[in-house]
Amino acid sequence: MASEFDLIGRYFTRAAPADVLGVGDDCAMFPVPAGRHVATSVDLLLEGRHFFSDVDPRALGHKSLAVNLSDLAAMGASPLGCVLGIGLPQADEAWVDAFSQGFLALCDTHACPLIGGDTTRSNQGVVISVTVFGSVDPNLALRRDGARPDDDIWVSGTLGAADVAYRLLAGALAPDPVRLAATRAALEWPTPRLALGRALAGMAHAALDVSDGLLQDLGHILKASGVGAVLDYAALPVDPALTGLSPEDVAHAVLAGGDVYELCFTAGRQRRAAVQQAAREAGVPVSRIGAVQREPGLVVLDDSGTPMPLRTRGFDHFGLD
Ligand code: ADP
Ligand code: MG
């Protein structure tokens, strides 16, 4: 059976950029551009909790890094490198090979080299922890506490597809192979919006990536900024793959569905054209979905301007629902 060192050497070692000390020493070292700060984020993915045991390992490799790169995007940061901690119940080389291919392909796409990590045996399923490092101008970084009254609220891409794929795979929605085929990539191959985040740095007042559901995540911006918001339900970019689902399932998916990895951000009304231009250049559509207001609270208005009853909440790992 392959040892820890065999696995590291075969699947996780790549030549690092010339000015980077990568896999193989006690620490990795990388330069930080002058005048910028390091932005860093870590995510933990547990088998059975964050991914299904039979997930395509290439997709899992991709997603393990994508969710971290999405955090850099939401900060307006550019990747410098990443480290990977992985715990494996057994050394299934075909699995590790496919996982590393998915992971390293996304490293290449975003010039985010894998520069270190730790590999160990796990007694309880696959455990994956990825830490990314990026750089950002601290004065332009997209924090959560900068939303101001009368800001527009925007979201990139579409909403709801990942939640529907998750519920189809979990058996919470009746089997529908056509809809699963149309939504599965949103769940398993999310696209981190790095170009958009960079373009919004210094333009948006507050931003985050939607990982736990639009309402819950927007709530984090509102709380950190000491403001409230009104959303226009009809303006939400519902993924076309949701067509034909019940209104309740659609509302759950777009308002509370997690695993979205789109950017939700606020910007001054006078920046509308600039936001649209940034989105065009980044190659991702954005939708203006509401406005920040001084009074605390989060209201979603339906087509007739009536507040919708909001029973749906985001996916809270320590919550009871
Ligand atoms: P140490 O005992 O000094 O922590 P290890 O034997 O754990 O070193 O790791 C050897 C080298 O391989 C280190 O440079 C480490 O960063 C790297 N490494 C270990 N596991 C991984 C992995 N899954 N991905 C990338 N690099 C890894
Ligand atoms: Mg180690």
pLDDT score at 184: 97
Distance (Å) from CA 10 to ligand 1 centroid = 12
Burial call 165-201: b when 16+ CB within 10 Å, e when fewer: bbbbbeeebeeeeebbebbbebbbebbbbbbbbbbbb
Confidence of residue 2 (pLDDT cuts 50, 70, 90): confident
Binned at pLDDT 50, 70 and 90, residue 311 comes out as: low
Query: Is residue 260 over pLDDT 60?
Result: yes
What is the model's pLDDT at position 169?
96
The Cα–Cα gap between 41 and 115 comes to 15
Is the Cβ atom of 120 under 6 angstroms away from ligand 1?
no
Whether the pTM exceeds 0.85: the reply is yes
| pLDDT higher than 60, residue 318 | no
**Between 311 and 37, the higher pLDDT residue:** 37
pLDDT at 312 over 80: no
| 309 has a pLDDT exceeding 90 | no
The mean per-residue pLDDT over the stretch 173-193 comes to 97
Pocket test for ligand 1, best of 7, 60, 68, 118 (most atoms within 8 A of CB): 118
Does domain 152-301 sit in CATH 3.40.50.620?
A: no
Nearest of 65, 193, 75 to residue 134 by alpha carbon: 75
Q: How far apart are CA 153 and CA 207, in angstroms?
A: 10
Give residue-wise pLDDT tens across range 90-103. Answer: 878 999 999 999 99
pLDDT of 120 over the 70 cut: yes
Best CA proximity match to 147, nearest among 298, 3, 308, 259: 298
Separation of 63 CA from ligand 1 center, angstroms? 21
Res. 79 pLDDT band, cuts 50 70 90: very high
- Let me know the angle formed at the C-alpha of 319 by 297 and 131, rounded to the nearest 5 degrees: 95
How far apart are the C-alpha atoms of 113 and 86, rounded to whole Å?
Answer: 17
> If you take atom 22 of ligand 1, which residue's CA is the nearest one?
117
What CATH code is assigned to 4-136?
3.30.1330.10
Q: Locate tokens 């919006």: which residue?
A: 193
- Domain residue ranges of the chain, discontinuous segments joined by +: 4-136, 152-301
Give the residue-averaged pLDDT of 129-138: 98
Question: Closest Cα to atom 4, ligand 1: which residue?
Answer: 26
In this predicted structure, what is the pLDDT of residue 284?
A: 98
For the cut 50, the answer to whether the pLDDT of residue 316 exceeds it is no
For the segment 210-232, the average pLDDT, to the nearest whole number, is 97
